[in-house]
Amino acid sequence: MGNGSFRGGVHPFDGKDMSKDKPITEYLPKGDLVYPLSQHIGAPAKAVVSPGDEVLAGQILGEATGFISANVVSSASGKVKAIERRMLATGVISESVIVENDGMYRLAPGLGTLRDPSQMTKEEIRLAVKEAGIVGLGGAGFPTHVKLTPKDDAAIDYVIVNGAECEPYITGDYRLMLEEPERIVAGLKAILCLFERAEGVIAIESNKPEAIARMREAASGADRIKVQALKTKYPQGAERNLVYAVTGRRLNSRKLPADLGCIVSNTDTVLAVGMAVCEHLPLMRRIVTVTGDGIANPQNFRVKTGTNLAELVEAAGGFKGEPAKVIAGGPMMGMALTVLDIPVTKTTSALLALTEDEVERFAPTDCIRCGRCVKACPAGLVPQKMREASERYQLDLFEKLHGMECYECGSCTFACPARLPLTQGFKEMRKAVMDRRRKAQAQKQAGGKS
Amino acid sequence: MRELWNVSSSPHVRSHEGTSNLMLDVALALLPATAFGVYRFGLYALCLILVSVGFALLTEYVFEIWTGRENTLMDGSALVTGLLLGLNLPPYVPLWIAMIGSIFAILVVKQLFGGIGQNIMNPAMAARCFLLISFAGYMNQFPALDGMSSVTPLTAMRNGEPVDLAAMFTGLTNGTIGEISTLAILAGGLYLLVKKVIDWVIPITYLGTFALFMLLFSGRGMDVHYLLAQLCGGGLMIGAWFMATDYTTSPITEKGRFVYGILLGVLTGIYRLWGASAGGVSYALIFCNLLVPLIERMTIPKPFGWEGQKNG
């Protein structure tokens, strides 16, 4: 068993007070909806509609290609206007299906029928998740049906619902746990149907006592489900920390949770699984927190995927003051945006507008070797040394210092009193090392053939 | 409205605790020892401290102008270096000793090695050792004070004379300006611990190892009075809490901090028992400073999830 915490981590200002008491409100899009075919980890989906086609809500627009891939589903009814390249929050340009919304949200036939997962076979449950196009909604975007298909179902003894929501400012999962705990429990029960030996653990940071109480209440009748409180500390919700906090088992970059008998999914994802399996509704919505001191009226929205971010800012009363930085996601791992003409994808958890950019306010100075980065690193690394490697672009040294174990949580950079952009350097180095590995692999394969 | 938003890589927030806050905390933590030293030795001691702080700041300023570097006076590190050097001077040395020491600390030990974070030895300690070697006469003179002996408690103990432990704890003895009061130093050390400027590992392993070493090798056995007097005497307390914890010259790895503290304890014990002079903290610190790169290299931790495994 885990101790509900982990070594390292930091305590950034959490900013959740701005939106945590705002009930989730439904936002219906006004403009066109944009569905990028590559909004998950793995192969992009392949468009199965053409411009001019009439589509219905829940209809598949892009089909998964290959094992690790996910369907892309329309969240509204209307007409396919175009299939063209659009920019995502990550800066990546992806082929996207543009749908002109008719505002009717007519559901595709056969969807929305109630089902009882205990009466379904495992294949039917997995198919329902796959058809629904569900991916990790916490930000990773890993296809959920792949995650729910480990080598051996009987080897899984924990299904962990990640309700940590450790990123500052974001309150979507928190609101879901308060407002729709039954649906989350339904999703967890559906997943537990796949893993007979597993115990379901809903893991929530201790700074959300109401959520803990509500989830306990909702799960009270269910056997094999319990709620565990975790220490409030960033990055408690990172997979390796969460698995350790709940089970005491130690993941690393080469191991998947399933290798250690765990399945980990974020709250909204589990809810989406519940809706897909029990209500036969594909992934057409997600919760987006629009917040920050640069937003007039911070809100939690239930948003149709494909909705333009600019609409959400408007729905939250527009900008307040002059935002210095606008971020898709949270302040620790989110992406700074240059424009708002970007669609809500499956992994858009928040839109954050800050009137002061602390990165600009605190200019980097020289490293004083204080060791705060070492203390903060939840992966047990020595960022100070890794930085020396990244400054000199020494890939071998970076690997030797276990740099590939970094998961870019940003704790070291947050803690650094010299305000050095450590994580930025590590991202570049990790990418360079991965590129090098891929090239070496390709060369080896080419050599083997000739 | 701004035309453009800022764009940078995550994370987008920073801790508000910067280098200058940390250095200011160290300076604040040294205030009790400073105040007690001035109370004990008079205004001349204050002059010495002001001269060493002043010349530390001036040297840094002039060097940075001269070499076209960014001014770093505001980071507070030169202030701390000057203050620490002043506190490590005997109370009645000529002012030019403080001046030369400060210039040496900042110019040679710090700036010529690349400035803040780059020096391989603690500037204040290296300067003290430089002064001890170059001006041994001045640096070992502790004139008699209000009828008390002109020998420091450590020298007295070495000569087999009795020492007053209570006086050593409060600071009513002879010694350098800042080292005499164990109480004042502990107050500062506690402040640094509470503010999380330092952690306990280095001071506690240093003092613990030293006590154990003396217990085993001093030939006094379990003589509590002797052990406590050794702990309170000389530069051990100020060394353990303020010098050994210097960020730049101590290991950043967790295990490395233990190794460093243990090495310091052993070396200080060796110098005190068998060294040429009664003290030994300064030389132990300088020597261990030089071992830090090696200690770090040997104590890079296994990452999370690879404990006890070969790969990683």
CB contact under 8 A, B117 and A419: no
| 3-state secondary structure (DSSP) of residue A58 | coil
Give the C-alpha separation, A320 to A330, whole Å: 18
A395 vs B: CB within 8 A? no
How do beta strands A46-47 and A60-63 pair?
antiparallel
Q: Give me the CATH topology for the region B20-298.
A: Ammonium transporter fold (1.10.3430)
Give the C-alpha separation, A94 to A75, whole Å: 18
Mean pLDDT across A305-322: 94
Measured between beta carbons, which residues in chain A are less than 8 angstroms from residue B11?
Answer: 12, 331-333, 410, 413-414, 423
CB contact under 8 A, A370 and B305: no
How do beta strands A54-55 and A199-205 pair?
unpaired
* Minimal-distance CA residue of chain B relative to A405: B303
* Minimal-distance CA residue of chain B relative to A428: B9
Domain boundaries, chain B: 20-298
Q: Which of residues 201-230 of A touch B (CB under 8 A)?
A: none
So what's the pLDDT on residue B310?
Answer: 64
A438 vs B: CB within 8 A? no
Q: State how far residue B184 is from chain A, nearest Cα, in angstroms.
A: 24
Structure tokens at B171: 């600071």
Q: State how far residue A430 is from chain B, nearest Cα, in angstroms.
A: 14
CB contact under 8 A, A374 and B9: no
Name residue B92's amino acid: Y
CB contact under 8 A, B10 and A408: yes
Higher pLDDT, A448 or B195: B195
Q: What's chain A's length in residues?
A: 450
Measured between beta carbons, which residues in chain B are less than 8 angstroms from residue A399?
Answer: none
Q: Are B15 and A13 in contact (CB under 8 A)?
A: no
Averaged pLDDT, groups of 10, chain B, 312 residues long: 80 95 97 96 95 98 95 95 97 96 97 94 96 91 72 86 90 92 97 96 98 93 92 94 97 97 97 84 95 96 87 50
* Minimal-distance CA residue of chain B relative to A401: B300
CB contact under 8 A, A334 and B10: yes
Give the C-alpha separation, B11 to A415, whole Å: 11
Q: Which of residues 327-346 of A touch B (CB under 8 A)?
A: 327, 331-338
So what's the pLDDT on residue A448?
Answer: 64
- Give, in words, the CATH class of A16-24+134-278: alpha beta
So what's the pLDDT on residue A91?
Answer: 87
How many Cβ pairs within 8 Å bridge chains A and B? 173
Radius of gyration of chain A (CA): 22
How do beta strands A93-101 and A78-87 pair?
antiparallel
For chain A, the average pLDDT equals 94
So what's the pLDDT on residue A139?
Answer: 81
Measured between beta carbons, which residues in chain A are less than 8 angstroms from residue B303?
Answer: 252, 379-381, 402, 405
Chain B contacts to A (CB-CB under 8 A): 1-2, 4-15, 17-19, 21-22, 72, 75, 77, 115-118, 199, 247-248, 251-254, 296, 300-307, 311-312
So what's the pLDDT on residue B300?
Answer: 94
CA B55, B60, B65, B71 dihedral sign is negative
HSE toward the beta carbon, residue B224, CA cutoff 13 A:
0
A424 vs B: CB within 8 A? yes
A240 vs B: CB within 8 A? yes
Q: What angle do CA B288, B291, B296 make, to 5 degrees?
A: 120
Mean pLDDT across A375-399: 96
Model confidence pLDDT, tens digit, residues A211-240: 999 999 999 988 899 999 999 999 999 999
Q: Which CATH number fits domain A287-361: 3.40.50.2300, 1.10.730.10, 3.50.50.60, 3.10.20.600?
A: 3.10.20.600
Q: What's chain B's length in residues?
A: 312
b/e for B161-180, b at 16 or more Cβ within 10 A? eebebebbbbbbbbbbbbbb
Least confidently predicted of A86-90, A427-431, B33-37, B75-79:
A86-90
Name residue B103's amino acid: I
Give the C-alpha separation, A327 to B23, whole Å: 33
CB contact under 8 A, B10 and A357: no
A410 vs B: CB within 8 A? yes
CB contact under 8 A, A250 and B305: yes
Does the pLDDT value for residue A3 go beyond 90?
no
Cα-Cα-Cα-Cα torsion A302, A303, A304, A308, nearest 10 degrees, comes to 170
In chain A, the N- to C-terminal Cα span, in Å, equals: 52
Model confidence pLDDT, tens digit, residues A10-65: 999 999 999 999 999 999 999 999 999 999 999 999 999 999 999 999 999 999 99
So what's the pLDDT on residue B148?
Answer: 64
CB contact under 8 A, A336 and B307: no
CB contact under 8 A, B252 and A416: no
A357 vs B: CB within 8 A? yes
HSE toward the beta carbon, residue B164, CA cutoff 13 A:
12
10 Å CB burial of residue A293 (0-12, 13-18, 19+) is: middle
CB contact under 8 A, A382 and B19: no
ipTM of the prediction: 0.92
Percentage of chain A beyond pLDDT 90 is 94
Q: Which of B69, B172, B163, B54 is nearest to B118 (CA)?
A: B69
Which ranges in A193-266 belong to alpha helices (H)?
209-218, 239-247
* Minimal-distance CA residue of chain B relative to A379: B304
Q: State how far residue A173 is from chain B, nearest Cα, in angstroms.
A: 21
Measured between beta carbons, which residues in chain A are less than 8 angstroms from residue B1?
Answer: 319, 322
So what's the pLDDT on residue B140?
Answer: 87
Give the C-alpha separation, B29 to B194, whole Å: 11
B267-270 contact pairs (CB < 8 A, 24+): B268/B206, B268/B210, B268/B213, B268/B236, B268/B239, B269/B209, B269/B210, B269/B213, B269/B214, B269/B217, B270/B213
For every residue of B1-14, DSSP letters joined together read --SS----PSP---
So what's the pLDDT on residue B147?
Answer: 60
Structure tokens at A448: 């083997």
A164 vs B: CB within 8 A? no
Mean pLDDT across A85-103: 93
Which residue of A250, A332, A385 is in closest CB contact with B11? Answer: A332
Mean pLDDT across A305-320: 95
Measured between beta carbons, which residues in chain B are less than 8 angstroms from residue A323?
Answer: 2, 5
